[in-house]
Chain A
């Protein structure tokens, strides 16, 4: 009888894990639609190609070496070392889910981190330079940083973040801020899009081509986030974990709502009109803000945390614009600035497992590692194959120069 209950629990947790992983996989569609909506129509095919290709690259690289770097004790040679078929017989402690379900759930997170980069460098980066970076980011940069956090390894053998009071439930820092740090280093080496700044340096608007697509993308991400945060509970087959899953779903939704309302109101106050794109960024900012700890706040507190993210994201987008850091979709603000805020909010509701100092050290470790290593990789790519298309190709649109096909041929010709 006891064994039957265990088997049922194992089956249920594994099933839950897989479904959540499939939800997170669907976030790749959300990023693709959001980014395709916020770029100009002449760059649509290329941004879609980037999004589908980076997803496949992330899945492959994480299988080849990423997963074993992150969870295999840093053993670079043991390909697929962490994945065994049976979580009961194979694991040191009997797990309540299949190891391959864990791999599947982890691999879609890598793709999420990489998706963040593609929006920020949109409309001017060479496709193959981006994919070359994706190989390194998803195969080494992200997994190493993940090994120090979720993998519980010491940072280059020096200090262990978990001991210092660092806690990041589903990855405000580990996934989102890491993706933003890689994006920021790329954007700094890449420069702004032509026409983004007038001669005297004032930022000019480059409106996105398709706001229905951007809105659909945001809704898809919002839905996928239930898998992202909800799955990070790692179990659902007990009263305790089922309660925790339900709280995480509730708070994740509340934070997105709070973020959207706050961003909509701030944009209305600053610009005089309701800016849809800011509202969409606000919802995502709310989601990023709650991701570091969705299980301990009350729903009202989760809404307020989300709202804080929503306010911050609008101000951050305006500030980055003034600093000439051209981010067409606001990815660095949504995932980086608000990712940091999410980390710093954790000790407010979960002081037992985290401290402000631990969160700051963790955030600094993640940011410095990802930013510096990404900068080096981008720099190397820039010096060898180049990262930016020519001015003429940029004017014509990267759809033609990189992919040789337009997204809407009947419309643009």
Chain B
């Protein structure tokens, strides 16, 4: 099992959610986050004076998948979150040692 953590542009969240639902992903966790990467921050003007936006608002998606769904899920997120511009985000994949569904006590792939 793998835990996929994707940082994406906020305006892409609906596209990503729909695309993942289409391939049978049944759940995800979404968090509003801030940070910077190669896009860095930017400056805005208020009454002619500059102010810096150092951390850009992003959305973090966490999805747990079984090993056989991993490649397809990664491909779907990459495609649906892609805007072709710097700041589109990143996907991190990490090992997931255990998953437990709290209501039934099921574990492993059964619980995803």
Chains A and B come from one and the same complex:
yes
Give me the interface of A with B, judged by CB distance under 8 Å. Answer: 202-207, 267, 270-273, 275, 277-278, 314, 317-318, 321, 330
Give Cα distance in the complex from A202 to B49, angstroms: 8
Q: Is B95 an interface residue (CB 8 A)?
A: no
Give Cα distance in the complex from A277 to B51, angstroms: 15
- Chain B residues near A330 (CB, 8 Å)? 47
Indicate if the CB atoms of B51 and A271 lie closer than 8 Å: no
- Jot down 25 A-B pairs with beta carbons below 8 A, ordered by A: A203-B49, A204-B50, A204-B51, A205-B45, A205-B47, A205-B49, A205-B50, A206-B46, A267-B48, A270-B48, A272-B45, A273-B45, A275-B45, A275-B46, A275-B47, A275-B48, A277-B46, A314-B48, A317-B47, A317-B48, A318-B48, A321-B47, A321-B48, A321-B49, A330-B47
**Chain B nearest Cβ from A26, distance in angstroms:** 26
Interface of B is mostly: strand
Q: Which of B45, B49, B50 has the most CB of A within 10 A?
A: B49
Indicate if the CB atoms of A277 and B48 lie closer than 8 Å: no
Interface residues of B in 25-72 (CB under 8 A from A): 44-51
**Chain B nearest Cβ from A230, distance in angstroms:** 31
- Chain A residues near B44 (CB, 8 Å)? 205
Count of interface residues, chain B, beta-carbon cutoff 8 Å: 8
- Chain B residues near A204 (CB, 8 Å)? 49-51
B51: which of A207, A270, A314 is its contact (CB, 8 Å)? A207
Give Cα distance in the complex from A245 to B85, angstroms: 59
- Chain B residues near A318 (CB, 8 Å)? 48
B46: which of A202, A207, A270, A314 is its contact (CB, 8 Å)? A207
**Chain A nearest Cβ from B43, distance in angstroms:** 9
**Chain B nearest Cβ from A259, distance in angstroms:** 16
- Chain B residues near A205 (CB, 8 Å)? 44-47, 49-51
- Chain B residues near A272 (CB, 8 Å)? 45
**Chain A nearest Cβ from B70, distance in angstroms:** 42
- Chain A residues near B47 (CB, 8 Å)? 205, 275, 277-278, 317, 321, 330
**Chain A nearest Cβ from B78, distance in angstroms:** 33
Give Cα distance in the complex from A297 to B10, angstroms: 52
- Chain A residues near B50 (CB, 8 Å)? 202, 204-205
